Structures are given as C-alpha cells and as structure tokens.
Amino acid sequence: MNKRENIYSLEGFGKVFRFTVSQTFKNKGYLVAFVMFVLVMTFMGPIQYLSQHTSQSAAEDSLSYDPAKVEVDKISIYNVTTVGLQVDDLTDLYMTDEEAKEEENKAGVSKDKVQVLEPVEEIDYENKLADSLGNKDVIVFIKGAETGYQISGVVSNDSKVEVDDVDGITETVKDIYEVKRLENSDVSSEDVQMIFSGVDTSSVIEESSYVAEENKTVSNINYMFYMLGFSMIIFLVVSMTNSYIITSVTEEKQSKLVESILVSVRPMALLMGKVCGMMSYVILLLGCGVIGSNISNLVMKNVFEISESEFNNSGFNFSIFKDFGGFGFVCLILSVVLAFILFGTIAGLFGSTCNKTEDIQDATGNVMMIAMVSYFAAIGVGAFDKDIVNVIAALLPPFSFFTAPVIYVTGRIGIAVLIVSYIIQILVIIGVMRLSAKSYRNLILSDSTTPKLKTIFKSAKM
C-alpha cells in the first residue's frame, strides 16, 4: 500500500517562522534598511516642509518690496488705462513721511520721488519717456492689452537700479492697480473669485449612478493618489522581500541543507514559515512607518503649527492607513497580508527552481514582472476611475490584490464586492499553496530545474 503523507501539513511552521524572523533581524542589511525606513518616515514631513518653506521664503524675499532699501531717484507711473491712479493710491510704493525722515541721506523711496504722469496723445511719447530716463530712474507703464492689462517696469540701458528692485516696484504697482480696478468695478474680491471659478456640467445620468457618485468619499484626483500610494506600498513590499525569499530558498537548495531539514519538517511548513517570517518583518516595518508618519504629522502640527490637511503630503506616506477609519485600516492591512502571501509563495516556488546564481535573477525577474503588471494596472485603474473598470479590477486577480481595498475605502464599490474579491483572492492563494505543496519538495531536491512556470507545473505532476 502506498500511503501518502499529508503534504499540506504545516507542522513545524512555527519553528521555521521563528528562525526566519530572528535571522532577518540579525541580518545587518535588513536591520539598517528597517532603521533607515522608519527614520525617513518620521522625518519626511518636517524635512519636506522645511525645504519647501526655505525655498518659498527665499522666493518671497526676492519679490518683497521694501521702499526703504530701494535706491532710485525717481519712480514714474505712466497709466493710459481708464482706471485712475493717483500718487496717494501708491502708499505701498513709498515710505511714510516719518520713515522718510528717519532715513539718512534721503535714501529709499519717499513720496516726492513718485509721480503719476498724465497720458499724452502723441506718437512715440512712451519711447521719449523711456529715452529720458536717468540711470537711477524707473518708469512703470500701465496699458490695455488684448487679454487684459499690461504693466511693465522700464529702466535705462545703463541703469544702476537692482533688477529685484525693479521687479518689486512693478509687482507693487500691479497689486495696487488690481485693488483699484476692483474698487472701480464695485465688485468684491470674493465675487471675482466666484466669477472665474467656472461651472461643472453633467449629461443626463441614471439615478443609481448618481447615488454611487454621491457616495464617493474622495475626489477622482485623491482616488488616483490613494491608488498610487497603496499599490506602491504593495509593490515595495513585494519587491523588498521577493529577492530575499528566492535567495533564501536557493541558498538552502544549493547548500543541500534542505535534505537535513526535510527529515524534520514538512515542505509546506518550511516554505510558509519562510514567507510568513519575512512578512512579519515587513508588517512591522509598515507599522513603524505608520507610527513614524504620525510622529511626523504631530511635529508638523505642534512645532510648525501646520495641520495635516494643510500639509498635503498624500501619496507614499501611509496616510491611506489612517484616513478611512478602523475598518478601512483592517481592509488595507488584510490586502497587504494576502498580497504578501501570494507573491511570497510564488517567490518561494520560483526560488526552488534555481540551481545557479543566474537563475536567481531570472526567478526574481519573473515574480517582479507579475507584480509590476499589477502595479501599473492599479495606477491605470486609479487614473481611469470608471465604475465598471473599478469593479473588474476589484475582482480580477492578481490586480485585485493591489486595487480592491482602495476601491472600497474610497466608496467606489460596496462591501459585498469587496467580500467577493477577498474570497477570490483567498481561493487563488489556496490554489498556489496546493501547487506549492505538490511542487516545492520535488523542485528543491532536483538539480535539473529552470526558473520557469512550466517547470513548476510539471513538477507538480511528478
């Protein structure tokens, strides 16, 4: 009687799991990667903010206009538009009398240095004005253009006025002119903003589609960012651990250690112990990344007084894990776990086909190919954002491993579709695990295998 043993037994899984975890954390490379990742997640917000803030401040400084620091003899405004502008309107352009008195040697721009010229109906008058400029004079021309108004700051060819100062003068005149223009139109600035904001229109839509649209909890653009962020997390998780699992399995195979191991543990337990051991490292890494991200936001809020919503760093900052409540978090983490088990098992299977170092590259490439196709498909789904595409992407493996939870938490599919998606994903994982149970032992004991899908399926029949 040929009584076969239970090839699906996971007896010994815990021992392999513990050994894998302990050796992963003893591996300096993985330890350094862990620390670096958590540090980046913790300090990403403040560093990003500070670098943005510094460059913004520098830009603002270069454009800010301080009349006390500008060295000019005369500023002339030549305004040919219907919007009337007087010297008294240009208070931002010159110092107050008190400020002017405090300035030594009559430095800076005082009121008496500013003049508004009356328009003259003469051909080439503007050219004459420009030609008559001294090397410390500035003239600002305001005139109508096809699409609105044009304001230009002009200096002589041998001007000694700083370029930044000319820019500051022109910008200041522009700001004053804008306000004056709105005042003349008798329209408030809020009204102007509303006028220019535009109106969205929709064709006739069915009631069900309308309700679905209304239930969307995030906008299309944010959906795309969430999909990008989450699929990137899954892709990173897969790519980070894929080569480790393949190398680890190949190492065991090449060293022939596997024969000693297989007299103590079932092959399925050996493979799953490795995959789950590595997964615990990644889950811990993600957990610490989320904590780091929260610390980052706390620092932003308490030190820089910038709220999370103001500091928009959505994308790869784990914000998706906390933006959709506890249930959303559970769904997302579950998908990470399922994706990891699927791709980890596939990586283990491909690892068991490797006999040479070159094989490892091929095996890694094969797994990465599947992950990459799914990743790009997820990005496409995020960008496309059509209901039918969302439903298909949520149900069709391997894409569903990357997309389903995001589509659900952003309100594009219901809980029923998500549950069906999870059932399909689990069935796929069971299928891959059954294949592993049949193939893994044969592959790992064979010296004549190549990292191809065909080899894996063939070995299952042996």
Compute the least distance from the CB of residue 261 to other proteins, in Å.
7
Per-residue x/- mask for other proteins, residues 151 to 180, rule CB under 8 A?
Answer: ------------------------------
**Segments of 240-367 assigned E as strands:** none
Q: Give dist(CA 249, CA 351) in Å, integer.
A: 5
If 0-12 CB within 10 Å is exposed, 13-18 middle and 19+ buried, where does residue 424 land? middle
27 touches other proteins by CB under 8 A:
yes
Per-residue x/- mask for other proteins, residues 264 to 303, rule CB under 8 A?
Answer: xx--------------------------------------
1 touches other proteins by CB under 8 A:
yes
5 touches other proteins by CB under 8 A:
yes
Instruction: Pick one of 16, 114, 341, 347: the residue that binds other proteins (CB under 8 A).
Output: 16
- Residue at token pair 């010994």: 12
188 touches other proteins by CB under 8 A:
no
Please report the sign of the dihedral spanned by the C-alpha atoms of residue 144, residue 145, residue 149, residue 155: negative
Compute the least distance from the CB of residue 11 to other proteins, in Å.
8
Instruction: Pick one of 10, 12, 351, 449: the residue that binds other proteins (CB under 8 A).
Output: 12
Instruction: Pick one of 53, 147, 165, 259: the residue that binds other proteins (CB under 8 A).
Output: 259
Per-residue x/- mask for other proteins, residues 85 to 104, rule CB under 8 A?
Answer: --------------------
Compute the least distance from the CB of residue 264 to other proteins, in Å.
4
454 touches other proteins by CB under 8 A:
no
Lookup: tokens for 98: 């008190």
Residues of 362-384 as b/e, b for ≥16 C-beta within 10 angstroms?
bbbebbbebbeebbebbbebbee
Q: Give dist(CA 415, CA 405) in Å, integer.
A: 10
Q: How many CB atoms lie within 10 A of CB 43?
A: 15
DSSP secondary structure letters along 124-162 = THHHHHHHT--TTEEEEEEEEETTEEEEEEE--TT--S-
- Please, which of residues 420-449 interact with other proteins by CB under 8 A? 441-442, 445
- Tell me whether residue 195 or residue 263 sits nearer to other proteins (CB atom): 263
DSSP secondary structure letters along 29-85 = HHHHHHHHHHHHHHHHHHHHHHHHHHHHHHHHHHH---GGG---SEEEEEE-SSS--
Compute the least distance from the CB of residue 257 to other proteins, in Å.
5
- Tell me whether residue 19 or residue 210 sits nearer to other proteins (CB atom): 19
Strands 74-79 and 114-117 come out as parallel
307 touches other proteins by CB under 8 A:
no
Q: Give dist(CA 371, CA 232) in Å, integer.
A: 10
3 touches other proteins by CB under 8 A:
yes
Query: Which residues contact other proteins by CB under 8 A?
Result: 1-5, 11-12, 15-16, 18-19, 22-23, 26-27, 251-252, 254-257, 259-265, 441-442, 445, 462
